[in-house]
A and B are shown apart, each in its own frame.
Chain A
Amino acid sequence: MAQCVTERLVASLSGVDAGYGTRQILHGIDFTVHRGQVVAIMGGSGSGKTTLLRLMTGQLRPWSGAVEVLGVRLEQASEAQRYALRRRIGMLFQFGALFTDLDVFENVAFPLREHTRLPEPLIRDLVLLKLEAVGLRGAARLRTSELSGGMARRVALARAIALDPELILYDEPFAGLDPISLATIGTLIRRLNDALGAASVVVTHDVVESLALVDYVYFVSRGRIVAHGTPDEIRNASDPYVRQFVRGEIDGPAPFHYPAPPLAEALMEGQ
């Protein structure tokens, strides 16, 4: 998919600082996604990956720097502009975030009912097509409480692509899934991205699954991008933090121990 890099820019962040309240989370982020690409944002828990997604949906404004998504400058966009943009974005939340008072069919129909005035038969057909794409047409009338974790994630994916988005965002799509569901979601991310001609951003800490799937990887650590490249470049990266992460070593630049005084001292105190 490397040829896609020359294609249209879908989202770009340049020199972005961002955070919540007075706490700065992201420092000087530069990041781009092009049409047709599946890009992974990798990093440990609490490194600022999800904050990056919230910048792209306009849920969070950057403190400084520029965020442009599908041609909209988000740092100065009005609420109406942000809502208009979000209709062109699909997002899969970590645990699906399905509406618990609606069944599977109505969950997928939700964006269609809210944003279009399509006649009921057409909505039905569209919902069934989206469910077919994730292999759950037969589950249309199940309640959300009857779904397994993997199925809920797939229904949420069908809902995220209901309006044929140009950019699809995934927040930890692999977290807590069994190997079969994990492979299914991985395949779907790639297949849907290519079928829709969209761009995808996958926030994840699942190394093996995502390196096999994506076109480009950004590595985030403590709110900074410490490395980026194609999956091959990342596998052979020299950065010690990336090496530790990719190989899953328990000690390295990210230490095993939470900072504490030496153990001997702590034991002596108790006597």
Chain B
Amino acid sequence: MIEAVARLGRATIDAVVQLGLAARFVIALLHHSGMTFRRLPLLIRDLYFAGVLSILIIVVSGAFVGLVLGLQGYDTLQRFGSETALGGVVALSLLRELGPVVAALLFASRAGSAMTAEIGLMKATEQLDAMDVMAVNPIARVIAPKFWAGVIAMPLLAAIFSAVGILGGWFIGVVVIGVDHGTFWSQMQNAVDFEEDVRNGVVKSLIFGVIVTWIAVFQGWSCTPTAEGVSRAITKTVVFGALAVLAADFVLTAFLFIGR
């Protein structure tokens, strides 16, 4: 019994310590972000790895999510005889929820895990130490560009995801099922509010970008520098990243869309 309480206490303390370390880490990261924007090639390299290389998986997943939305949306709406509202349903679901959330989950497993692996392996092979001893701050040179690349790439990827998804919904609704072309788009135009839906969706994806990339670079930076430690850090990036995104999504939805 006492043993169990002690174990719970230890786990809690460990978690709080990790949070504190992560907070100190992000402060150091922001403090050393100057180089990222003075030396754009560093940022562009990481934008390529985090952003450009994620486009394929984002486009393919966005297309399938859009196709499914078209099918399910039509099926549900036609029970109420309002299948003409399909355009609005598809667009709102993607812009407000599915675009930011699913893109962030994919981003955590595609780009986040790659960042953790790269940083972790650089640590395990003493490359980060070597840089530090060469008087080059590894946080400024390696970590900060990755962080900012993730923060910049995430909203763009979410936007691509939503755009492709809407095209997928259009394909099913208009081309396959035969909803009227003009109604589909005009319904969407009426239903979607730029401030309320588009902007808030972008705010969400930006915050998810910060969360996922922060977790990814912190896990890489603080991993145990062994093969096992790196693999555990990658797992943590994907698991914590997904959980944090879903939890943050609930909070953000409550504040951005409902709580007004």
Contacts and interface: CB of A to CB of B under 8 A. Distances in A.
A265 B135 CA distance: 55
B135 A100 contact: no
A66 B132 CA distance: 22
B78 interface: no
Interface in A60-97: 83-84, 86-87, 89, 91, 93-95, 97
A111 B134 contact: yes
Residue among A59, A99, A156 having the largest count of chain B Cβ atoms under 10 Å: A99
Interface stretch (B102-110, B121-129, B166-174, B175-183): B121-129
B133 interface: yes
B125 A86 contact: no
B134 A110 contact: yes
Interface residues of A, number: 20
A97 B136 contact: no
Nearest to B45: A101
A259 B129 CA distance: 34
Interface residues of B, number: 15
Given A93-B126, A97-B126, A115 B135 contact: yes
Interface string B54-79: 00000000000000000000000000
B137 interface: yes
B19 interface: no
Nearest to A115: B135
Contacts of B122: 100
B132 A59 contact: yes
Contacts of A99: 127, 130-131
Nearest to A171: B126
Interface in B151-166: none
B136 to A, nearest CB: 5
A89 B137 contact: no
Contacts of B127: 97-100
Interface in B34-49: none
A12 interface: no
B129 A59 contact: yes
A90 to B, nearest CB: 8
A114 interface: yes
A115 B133 CA distance: 13
Given A98-B127, A100-B125, A100-B127, 12 more contacts: A59-B129, A86-B133, A86-B134, A87-B135, A91-B133, A93-B129, A94-B126, A100-B122, A110-B136, A114-B136, A114-B141, A156-B130
Interface of A: 57, 59, 83-84, 86-87, 89, 91, 93-95, 97-100, 110-111, 114-115, 156
List the 4 closest A-B pairs by CB distance, nearest first: A97-B130, A86-B135, A97-B126, A83-B135
22 contacts: A57-B133, A59-B132, A83-B135, A83-B137, A86-B135, A87-B134, A87-B135, A89-B133, A91-B130, A91-B133, A95-B125, A97-B125, A97-B126, A97-B127, A97-B130, A98-B127, A100-B121, A100-B122, A100-B125, A110-B136, A114-B136, A115-B136
